Structure 1
Amino acid sequence: MLFIHESNKIYSTDQNNHMVAVVTFPKVSDTVVNIDHTFVDSSLRGQGVAGKLMEEAVSHLRENNLKARLSCSYAVKWFEEHPECRDVLEK
């Protein structure tokens, strides 16, 4: 699956260019974003796509020296299950 990176979101589209998966993280400050939404189309659920989106988001945060706040319930749960990625969370 190909993920498209923009400054405040990472997403994937289907063959018709419809967004089928997305994680959004608007900037709160120069160094902090808020992971506020994840979505995966029902046709892709259960395939680990949301987890892959979160991995992409963590890589994006690390590469850009950003920290994250979490207001998305999926993101909160994902970081609880992936302590190795918590270095990107705002202290």
Structure 2
Amino acid sequence: MAQATQMNVPEINTPITVEHDKKKRQFNIRLNGSHDRAVLLYEYVGKKTVDLQHTEVPDAYRGRGIAKHLAKAAMDFVVEEDLKAHLTCWYIQKYVKENPQPQYLEHIHPM
């Protein structure tokens, strides 16, 4: 008889808050006040152009919509600062495709 394996999957009991660290050029979410963080990294590739490069969520927290909060915060930042964005990160590309807001689309720089 097969035994069920219990995985220690952390719960997310606090509201998700995205922090923007402009010096490190990243958006991050602290997960349950622990050392675990979800992060979205970007770089300026011109005076008014950013490259949204990479989104990462720890394995134990994947599949819970956490990256969506990072993507929204990054795209809102691009719009608010009137920047153009290169979407290097596949997840950001997916997010914009699934949320084709006109304000997002007009700020995407063609690759």
Structure 1 unmatched ranges of 5 or more: none
Identity of aligned residues (%): 28
TM-score after normalising by structure 1: 0.86
Kindly indicate whether residue 83 of structure 2 is the aligned counterpart of residue 78 of structure 1.
no
- Which structure has the higher relative contact order (CA within 8 Å, separation 6+)? 1
Q: Which amino acid aligns with 1:41?
A: P
Tell me how large the CA RMSD over aligned residues is.
1.5
What aligned pairs does 1:26-65 form with structure 2 within 5 A after superposition? 26-65=43-82
TM-score after normalising by structure 2: 0.73
Report the equivalent of 1:4: 19
The list of structure 1 runs, each at least 4 consecutive aligned residues, that deviate by more than 3 angstroms after superposition, is none
Q: Which structure would you say has the larger Rg?
A: 2
Higher helix share: 1
Matched residues, number: 90
